[in-house]
Amino acid sequence: MDYRKVSGSDMKVSVIALGTWAFGNDCWWGHQDDAKSCDVLSEAIASGINLIDTAPIYGRGHSEEVVGKFLQKQGLREQVILATKLGLKWEDKNPKIFHDLTPAKMLEEIDASRKRLRTDYIDIYQVHWPDPDNPIGKTAETMHKFYQKGIIRAVGVSNYSVGQMQEFKKYCPLHTLQPQYSMFERSIESEVVPFCTESNIAIFAYAPLYAGILTGKFFLDNVPIPNDVNRKVKQIELTEPRFSINKEFFKKLKNIASSYGKTLTQLAINWNFNQEGITLAIVGTRSVTQLKDNLGSTDWQISPDDMEKIKELLEWRKEMCIGTGRDLSDKKIK
Ligand SMILES: NC(=O)c1ccc[n+]([C@@H]2O[C@H](COP(=O)([O-])OP(=O)(O)OC[C@H]3O[C@@H](n4cnc5c(N)ncnc54)[C@H](OP(=O)(O)O)[C@@H]3O)[C@@H](O)[C@H]2O)c1
């Protein structure tokens, strides 16, 4: 496992991190057994993954609870870098979620997260999404207070544009950005990545498997199409005409993966954390079987020639997809 430094901190993070959204056992990812989540945590840490990414909104506190309870019980808190988030809230019996980055709510949230995670401090504390109703400067000032108090070791934002990061940095040091990034969602490449590189901001890429699509399993392995229909990417990519285009794409990509003795999943993750400016890939992992596969993405290199072939294949797919549905890479940050 390779580790990379988070600039401005003393932390070195593994090139793959464990994403724990599914541990929330919520409507987005469907049923997830806590015992199975604990097996994944145990095996991931034993295998050298040192960053665990969670958020209060994942299962409305449940993902943080599972992670916190596990780390306390196993005495592993000091061995991991815990990354969580703030800024989204929920109400009982209301399926909707809301932004809330008022300073009072932020203070309440950090205490609630520390309690669920059973820790005094959070290693990387990330603003989950910008809140259109609260100025970025105010959010950054509150984050700065947490940082100065030493209850967070590094400051992060997620789903921020360059302009939003520039504003944030006027009031608070910024160590990490967590954007969506994968072979199928590359909108950060043009502006966000160069800005972060120049500004020494580490990039933690989320959804590197594009919510599981890049495993290729739905196209080549006859894995039944899941019914978690609220994942828009799945609705689009698993429906014709995209389905057939994707199937063709994965057949070609698999030839490259196989030439290294690797799976499509391993190729997609390795490609991800080896792209310009990317520090690590946060891979959502629900079972030890998936984890073992995902760990095979580390400790090898895709050759420059094959990187070029992958680039051409992605361009081919992009052309084929024109006019076949909403291009998710055009999504605007609210
Ligand atoms: N900051 C944000 O706004 C934000 C947003 C989204 C995610 N995140 C973070 O990023 C993490 C990763 O994103 P994500 O979970 O949405 O998407 P992802 O990592 O692209 O995909 C994860 C899903 O792919 C499937 N999978 C993973 N490994 C597999 C394997 N080896 N073989 C077959 N299937 C496999 C699993 O789902 P199935 O078994 O159900 O197919 C898994 O839940 C999250 O857990 C969270 O920590 C952050």
User: How far apart are the CA of 206 and the centre of ligand 1, in A?
Assistant: 8
The catalytic site residues sit at: 58
Closest approach atom of ligand 1 to CA 212 = 24
* CB-ligand 1 contact for 181 (6 Å cutoff): no
User: How far apart are the CA of 266 and the centre of ligand 1, in A?
Assistant: 14
User: How far apart are the CA of 259 and the centre of ligand 1, in A?
Assistant: 25
pLDDT at 225 over 60: yes
* CB-ligand 1 contact for 210 (6 Å cutoff): yes
Sign of the alpha-carbon torsion through 271, 272, 274, 275:
positive
Q: Name the strand (E) or helix (H) holding 96.
A: strand 94-99
Helix pair 264-273, 288-295: axis angle to 10 deg: 60
pLDDT at 247 over 70: yes
- Per-chain mean pLDDT for the chain: 94
Which CATH code for domain 3-210+263-301?
Answer: 3.20.20.100
* Residue 3, SS3 per DSSP: strand
pLDDT confidence bin for 228, thresholds 50/70/90: low
| Pocket residue to mutate for ligand 1, from 161, 273, 285, 333, most atoms within 8 A of Cβ | 285
| Pocket residue to mutate for ligand 1, from 288, 290, 291, 294, most atoms within 8 A of Cβ | 290
Q: Which pLDDT belongs to residue 53?
A: 98
Q: Which pLDDT belongs to residue 230?
A: 53
pLDDT at 10 over 80: yes
Among protein residues, the one with the nearest Cα to ligand 1's atom 25 is 212
Dist. CA 272–CA 276, nearest whole Å: 9
pLDDT confidence bin for 235, thresholds 50/70/90: confident
pLDDT at 3 over 90: yes
Dist. CA 307–CA 60, nearest whole Å: 39
Sign of the alpha-carbon torsion through 8, 9, 11, 17:
negative
Amino acid in the structure at residue 217: K
Per-residue pLDDT of 27-69, as tens digits, reads 788 889 999 999 999 999 999 999 999 999 999 999 999 999 9
Dist. CA 162–CA 144, nearest whole Å: 19
Pair type for strands 94-99 and 278-284:
unpaired
Dist. CA 256–CA 271, nearest whole Å: 12
User: How far apart are the CA of 103 and the centre of ligand 1, in A?
Assistant: 30
Domain ranges of the chain: 3-210+263-301
| Pocket residue to mutate for ligand 1, from 62, 127, 209, 286, most atoms within 8 A of Cβ | 209
Dist. CA 100–CA 146, nearest whole Å: 17
User: How far apart are the CA of 332 and the centre of ligand 1, in A?
Assistant: 21
- CA-nearest of 16, 11, 159, 30 to 87 is 159
